């Protein structure tokens, strides 16, 4: 069943004009709490695979009173620690979130085991360029084999450049 669902999702993700199918059993409350972002892959022009990969990002996912997702993130890089907050509203479909004013057209979870990891797809628009980014969220600083394999498969099948 999982293979069929992932195959269907992959087919729909590969077709730019198609709407993505949502992982219907996901409750946004299952995403709440702290996560590490251990890997990133993207279709963004100029996405650099070779840039520093030692900068682990932390994300705290919260649910607002209006049932929006609030993402608090911090990243340690060459410039020091940077922090940001972003609130995402539900789209018309049940579990897809967005914030077009910040360039986030879609934010959705493609795969998760509900305990250790989540594979998050974000459709972004920056400077009139639309692209997708895939992130591996992990509850621990080291991702499980299952999470790494799923992330690698999604990245490869979608033709993304990856950074782990």
Q: What is the CATH number of the domain that holds 131?
A: 2.40.128.20
Q: How confident is the model at residue 76, as a pLDDT?
A: 72
What 3-state DSSP class applies to 109?
A: strand
| More confident call, 55 vs 122 | 122
Task: Note every long-range contact of 63-67, with CB atoms under 8 Å and residues 24 or more positions apart, other chains counting.
Answer: 63/28, 63/29, 63/32, 67/28
**Residues paired with residue 81 on neighbouring β-strands, in sequence order:** 76
Residue showing tokens 């022009």:
45
Q: Rounded CA gap, 139 and 123, in Å?
A: 23
Task: Note every long-range contact of 91-95, with CB atoms under 8 Å and residues 24 or more positions apart, other chains counting.
Answer: 93/22, 94/22, 94/24, 95/22, 95/23, 95/24, 95/26, 95/28
Q: How confident is the model at residue 127, as a pLDDT?
A: 81
Q: Looking at residues 149-157, what average pLDDT do you find? A: 90
Number of domains, the chain: 1
Domain of 67?
2-163
What 3-state DSSP class applies to 31?
A: helix
Closest among 105, 112, 108 to 144, alpha carbons compared:
112
Q: Looking at residues 35-41, what average pLDDT do you find? A: 90
Model confidence pLDDT, tens digit, residues 71-129: 999 877 677 888 999 999 988 766 789 999 999 999 998 888 878 999 999 999 988 88
Q: How confident is the model at residue 135, as a pLDDT?
A: 92
> Residues in the chain, how many?
164
Q: How confident is the model at residue 9, as a pLDDT?
A: 32
| More confident call, 135 vs 5 | 135
| Kind and range of the H or E run holding 82 | strand 80-90
Contacts of residue 38, Cβ cutoff 8 Å, sequence gap at least 6: 56, 136, 137, 138, 141, 142, 143, 164
Residue 65 predicted with pLDDT over 70: yes
């Amino acid at each position: 069943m999982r293979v069929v669902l992932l195959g269907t999702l992959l087919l729909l993700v590969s077709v730019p004009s198609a709407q993505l199918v949502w992982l219907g059993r996901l409750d946004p409350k299952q995403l709440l709490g702290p996560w590490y972002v251990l890997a990133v892959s993207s279709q963004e022009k100029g996405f650099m695979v070779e840039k520093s990969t030692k900068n682990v990002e932390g994300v705290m996912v919260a649910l607002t009173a209006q049932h929006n997702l609030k993402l608090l993130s911090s990243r340690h890089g060459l410039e020091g620690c940077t922090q940001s907050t972003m609130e995402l509203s539900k789209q018309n479909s049940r579990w897809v979130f967005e914030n077009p004013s910040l360039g986030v057209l879609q934010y959705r979870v493609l795969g998760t085991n509900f305990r250790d990891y989540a594979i998050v797809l974000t459709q972004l628009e920056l400077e009139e360029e639309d692209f997708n980014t895939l992130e591996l969220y992990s509850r621990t600083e080291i991702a499980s084999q299952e999470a790494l394999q799923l992330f690698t498969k999604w990245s490869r099948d979608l033709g993304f450049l990856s950074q782990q």
